[in-house]
Amino acid sequence: MSKGDGAYGRSESCSLCKKPAVARLSDPKRSLCADHFIRDCEERVRNAIVTEGMITDSDRIAVGLSGGKDSTALLMILSGILASCRGDVSSETGSSEIDAISPNADLIAITIDEGISGYREETMEAAAALVRQLGIPQQIISFDELFGSDLDTLLKGREDEACTVCGVLRRRALLEGARRAGATKIATGHNLDDEAQSVLMNLLRGDLPRLVMDTASGYPDCFIPRIKPLLPLSEKEIVIYLMVQGAFTDLPECPYAHTALRGEAREMLSSLEMQYPGTRQRLITARDDVREIIGADEPGMRGEGAVTRCRRCGEVCSGDICAVCRVLRRKRLDE
Ligand code: SF4
């Protein structure tokens, strides 16, 4: 099994105590009970935050909260880490690491209502219940409010483009939410699987600028840096984490999900990961190596071309018209 991967339901004992194990992980090999598994996941996230310097200087972090499993785990873990930094709860981690995360950082959840009938209602309710439980402020932004139309309406006649259109508009909506909240960072729930899938999709599309673009700089979304604290965790580990915390809810899948190239990338990578453990992590590492080789001398290759303003909406973009206006204009021309 690959680094950090998990398996639920093994009849083994925890490597650290004798309680029944809920997951078996490798590198290093260990089987963990529920308590030790939770601690292990949280420590890996905390270490990534410290190592990458994701949270500093009283950051106000806008957490993209869809109500799905990844964003739920992200908000739970971040809120626990910040509570331990403030001394609200005890921490198992060394104090020097805790000191590296600002005790004054705070969170606000940003929930985007795309307007996907029969799907978003339930996840919106799950998001609202979670922020109530954690005592975190929430801001809800709808496509209707921002773009004058919900996603279902925008997609009429071009449903096969759903995820491309949705992705472009969601990024803008999240950015708008972060700005309204006065956020200094945007945190998203991307996990190890998501990141490896993105690398593979960019390779399949032959999109080198997007492959090496580093959104941690804040480019191209107007310089609010993005952080991905869940990158050390696989999708399976996140499911186990939520299950053992009693926070797993079986929510419906987006009706447009089957239109995404991501679904094919996911299947391809799952099968490769089974045959060649560590494939996902190696893909990400190879991408990071390419980023480093390209270095700071080639901004064009990193997608950091000259920053201009969109002719239609005035947003920062790298061309004449931003991606959001292209998507919306196409819809109006189709009418
Ligand atoms: Fe949007 Fe596609 Fe995700 Fe559905 S699956 S929420 S359409 S990106």
Please spell the DSSP secondary structure of 242-273, one letter per residue: HHHTT----PPPPTTGGG-HHHHHHHHHHHHH
The pLDDT score that the predictor gives to residue 215 is 66
The pLDDT score that the predictor gives to residue 38 is 96
Q: Which atom of ligand 1 is nearest to the CA of 66?
A: 6
Q: Which atom of ligand 1 is nearest to the CA of 255?
A: 4
- The finding on whether 254 has its CB within 6 A of some atom of ligand 1 is yes
Q: Separation of 63 CA from ligand 1 center, angstroms?
A: 18
Measured by CA distance, the residue closest to atom 8 of ligand 1 is 163
Using one digit for the tens of pLDDT, what is the confidence trace for 283-311?
999 999 988 887 645 555 544 556 788 89
- Mean predicted confidence (pLDDT) in 252-261: 85
Q: Which residue has the higher pLDDT, 93 or 257?
A: 257
Highest average pLDDT, of 217-221, 230-234, 263-267, 292-296, comes from 230-234
Q: Which atom of ligand 1 is nearest to the CA of 254?
A: 4
Q: Give first-to-last CA distance, the chain, whole Å.
A: 51
**Residue 118 CB contacts under 8 Å (≥ 6 apart), including other chains:** 252, 255
Q: Separation of 152 CA from ligand 1 center, angstroms?
A: 11
C-alpha distances in Å from residue 33, one per residue of 46, 53, 179 = 20, 30, 41
- The finding on whether 163 has its CB within 6 A of some atom of ligand 1 is yes
pTM: 0.87
- Mean predicted confidence (pLDDT) in 233-262: 90
Q: Which atom of ligand 1 is nearest to the CA of 259?
A: 2
Output the average pLDDT for the chain.
86
Using one digit for the tens of pLDDT, what is the confidence trace for 54-88?
998 789 999 999 999 999 999 999 999 998 888 77
Q: Separation of 311 CA from ligand 1 center, angstroms?
A: 27
Q: Which domains does the chain have, with CATH numbers?
A: 35-304 (3.40.50.620), 305-335 (no CATH)
